[in-house]
Structure 1
Amino acid sequence: MTNKLPSSMNMTLASYLRKTDDILTRNEQKRWFAGLEETAKKGIQQFQSASAEVQNGIIGALKDRIRTEEIKAWYSAPEGNSLFQGTSISSLTIPYTISSPLKFRSIVDLEESIANAYIQLHKRYAKKVKKAVIEDVDTWLNEGLYYGVVLSSKIISQAFNLSVKYSDVVLKIGPYTVDPHEITSFPDDVRHEYFEKCLKHINVFGDINLEQREMESSLVLADISKPKMKEYKDKIILAPVRCNEIASILSDGITSRIREKTAGKINPRSLAVVIYDTDTPYTYHRIMGYCGNGLSLILPGLTILGTSGTIEAFRWLYAYRVSLIAQKMMKGSLYSEVHRHFVPFVFFGVLVPRDAEILLDMENLHRLRYRGNLNPELECAYLIPGVLNAINHCGSQVFSWEDFEKKHLLNN
């Protein structure tokens, strides 16, 4: 039997995304967009004007950072009921575990469920954390034990009922029978005609003016394996689109509910929301046009579709690390069904308050990163000025055997 949440007004993805209009009017949001544009443009210019050797150095440094996050994710996943298994932004990794799948009838149900889970898990672990840390952490705990939550993309899809019959997306286009999971193997004109037909057959997105790449990405990431619920029989669950916007709106909604439900006793300054998909990103990158230059770096193992928070507040590679950990803990829908072990979301916290202030910007974890889905080119471009500065600094340090000998081999 599934856990049924209270009934609520049905809200389409299109109507939910209209909340973005209000977000864009905020002065803090405008300032962030201006800073994003300035830094990303600088990074792109630096990369394009650099020599091939320097470009390779930049790409190598970014790949090293990606590899670092993979390793940190590997040892940050908790073992059993262990606390503080990881380090820094993955110190506290807490799954919300239930024995039956949650049934989301709207995005409001999802906001409610995440807020309730946050409160429940905060109360369960706050005393243990306080006991483990020598410093006074009362103020920190009053702001909430967790800075962020990671969701699978199909949780979002369920909340917006983004499901269609499989027969509605396998279409005849001229001599071709187009299966969306093989969309990149067809000629461009066939893909465009397929897109036009899909717009007529698929109405779950409402009146969103979808681009072709958005429709194709939703279809190529669609899941055939799914929760064992009768409403999904003979259907596939499409991936959501414009996930940065969804994440930002979700963040506002969840934090408001947490404050309201606890009468302000738990008062998060903001909350990072990360949305990932279990599929590897290779085909997705091709569809989204991320294969044109060296800045479209692949994050192996999964696809990050969106996250809330400015890049300074919550780094792209942090989103990668917590998504890898969450994926390992959530596993797949069929595993969950067989073992009756469901993890719809995973919460993350830091080791001590100082980590939160140094590694995150707790005031801006809810901010709209930018519109659409997460863009690896833009994320890399934003990081380049800092990466290049580090490379130049290290490059100026020439190894001197004489200095080494004096420091390490000779008696002073």
Structure 2
Amino acid sequence: MKILEDGICSISSIKASGYREGKYGVTILYHENSTAAAVFTTNKVYAAPIDITRKHLEDGNISAVIVNSGNANCYTKEDGIKKGLELAQLVADDLSIPLEDVAVASTGVIGRQMPMDIIKPVAIESLGRLGNSRQHASDAANAILTTDTVTKECAVEASLNDGTVFRVAGMCKGSGMIAPNMGTMLGFITTNLKINKNTLQEALRESVKKSFNMVVVDGDESTNDTVLVMSTNEIEAEIDENFQEALDYVCISLAKQIAKDGEGAKKFMEVVCEGAKSLDDAILVSKSVVSSSLVKTALAGADPNWGRIISAMGYSGVDFDPDNVSISIGSGNETVVIVDKGDVKTYSNPEQLEKAEELMGKKDIVITVNLHDGDASTTAYGCDLTYDYVRINAEYTT
């Protein structure tokens, strides 16, 4: 697999643009008659754009996506639907495509009506900038940001078993309100392989399960979460497991970038659960640890308080033997075993605890827990919980 540097525009037929004025930005992606699939938030309170996009994706085809930042267009009732459709119609008219071929997504403050007098001129400007280049990809990735501090992009080139070369490229935004089942994140992925909508939908669900659904920043699940994939249908070949692998790679890379850019975050955390009876058990345990506010604050303070880890495992809902658990803390090529099948190593060797404290002070930390109960394993992604997180969210709408 080859890593590409042109972001979403690594697919040469995709046109992208992004334009921002202050906190309001608009990104547009365009490729006529693309096959498409999407997954959305499971929050019962969901935004107007999700309602629109679900309906427009019923036939599995779209030609364009318009995304605005600065306003979530959520809890805005019928006016929200009308304004979302107004943005979609703007794109449809400009690109001479049916309204039903335009997907819509939004991110920003909940419960405020869309300021169309501001957003429409930004959308018009963005429409006039569509193109395919590194700069177009960067502009598109930037215009969707809210409290993010960096853009998040990934693109790869890979081959099917028959030698057919294809590409998968994506971008996303997300920094706060990130929780299992996705959370305040928008993700947009493209591929040039020809794939039918059912296969594309299933592949996306599989990738999201391993990636975006394994990210926890603060435990709050947003109202606007959307991950959408577009196939430009340019390359016809027999789809095999290599496409899933490439899609997984892009989604996991983007998910990690979200965790590293968590609001106020200083450290990135991976929680690996090994030796579980089932994948579902491994997911529950790893998510429970990565979601724990006590584990996240311990990470912020470089405190190797493994008691918080075993506690979070205990309330995960998974049946396991606490006296048979192993826990280790690592960073880079160094790892310290804290508990080995129930035997607490730091009791007899205080130097182990000192080494763990040193590793917890690193920027990237891996916590590995082994239930010694089966062969299933998985990884969850998260970050520390800092004073800056409270400050950012305390001042979010003021």
Structure of larger gyration radius? 1
**Bigger RCO of structures 1 and 2 (CA < 8 A, at least 6 apart):** 1
Which structure has the highest strand share of the two? 2
Structure with greater helix percent = 1
Instruction: Report the TM-score when normalising by structure 1.
Output: 0.25
- Given the two structures, how large is their TM-score scaled by the length of structure 2? 0.25
